[in-house]
Amino acid sequence: MKIGVPKEIKNNENRVGMTPAGVFELVNQGHTVYVQSTAGEGSGFLDAVYQEVGAVILETIQDVYQSSEMIVKVKEPIQEEYALIQPNQIVFTYFHFASSEALTLAMLKSNAICIAYETVEDEEGTLPLLTPMSEVAGRMAIQQGAKYLEKPIKGRGILLGGVPGVTPGKVLILGAGVVGVQAAKMAAGLGAHVTIMDVNMKRLRYVNDIMPSHVVTEYSSVYNIKKHIQTHDLIIGGVLLKGGKAPKLITRDMLKDMRPGTVLVDVAVDQGGCMETTKATTHEDPTFIIDDIVHYCVANMPGAVPYTSTLALTNVTLPYVLKLANKGWEQACAEDKSLALGLNIVSGKIVYGEITEAFDWGMQYA
């Protein structure tokens, strides 16, 4: 198979869809890999290293799309890429269709085979291709939140860990999934007081078992959220509905109950966000302020730490890339149920129900 690795062109996205190690495996199994020039530089992988393991370097993104039967990316195609995608071309990447009607319509029009990292699901019901980036984003949420609590950036002027004689900051985490647990781990490590909320008691029991005593769990309800937002300094939104839009747990009206300088970090922004005031931002312009509340809503948080993120992502995507390359998408998905769940759009038809539900399209594109 001919496999293309284009350079990511989303704002400040420095990750790359395949490392030289992945190229080596594919070339060794008889495939051709086209890598766009400088695609790996942001993650620390130079063109020369790709060439050493057998990649063909192409100068333009147009060349990569035109030459390839399968495209392996990190982030969803943006508008400049829509017209480059060809009928029956496999596109294997994060899509998050439920948060973008324009992207969904463009991929339907392209007649491509869209396989989404975020909906590949294993036998235990976990999302193996989303997990490593959720781990990165969860940890980064605290790192970024701690920074934006500083007064020069309009935060409350709080040091999360406090100091002797001064109480530590308070962190509220909505969702006890991968993002929430990793955020809690980082916040606890800094010495903050952490409250983590979820509707899944099994997850709350797990968190209670593994976390230190200054991480407390509480059942998530509107009443409890309204109570805690009044006293917490940093609020992390880490709620995920597989393939669907995130629920709005914090409304615009709730902002008035928060103290000025409270920081909101919405890690669920890729899925539309779990806060009503969320709008996607970039690493170049990461925050905005509404009613004196600082919002950090960067849609590709792991892109800021591309070396770590690229290695973590490609560790888990490469086995699936190899299956798709060796067997073709139809046989690979027929033999691997977890990969089959990654199929979102196939030749102009939506095959993942949560997408039609997100836009209330019914059977229109099924």
Active site residue 96: yes
DSSP state of 116: E
Buried b (16+ CB within 10 A) or exposed e, 328-343: bbeebbeebebbbbbb
Q: Which of 198, 233, 266, 270 is catalytic?
A: 270
Q: Are 94 and 270 in contact (CB under 8 A)?
A: yes
CA distances from 48 to 2, 22, 53, 118, 178 (A): 20, 15, 9, 31, 36
The C-alpha atoms of residue 58 and residue 62 are separated, in whole angstroms, by: 9
Q: Which of 183, 179, 161 is nearest to 170 (CA)?
A: 161
Supply angle C-alpha 288, 217, 267, rounded to 5: 25
DSSP string of 188-213?
HHHT-EEEEEES-HHHHHHHHHHS-T
**Left if phi > 0, otherwise alpha if psi is -120 to 50, otherwise beta: which for 17?**
alpha
The C-alpha atoms of residue 197 and residue 201 are separated, in whole angstroms, by: 10
Q: Which of 96, 193, 232, 295 is catalytic?
A: 96
Q: Are 148 and 141 in contact (CB under 8 A)?
A: no
DSSP string of 285-343?
S-EEEETTEEEE-BTTGGGGSHHHHHHHHHHHHHHHHHHHHHHHHHHHHHH-HHHHTTE
Residue type, 341: L
Q: How many CB atoms lie within 10 A of CB 211?
A: 18
In 3-state terms the chain splits into helix, strand, coil percentages (rounded to 5) of 40, 20, 40
Using CB atoms within 10 A of its CB, is residue 223 exposed (0-12), middle (13-18) or buried (19+)? exposed
Q: How many CB atoms lie within 10 A of CB 121?
A: 20
Active site residue 232: no
Q: Which residues are catalytic?
A: 96, 270
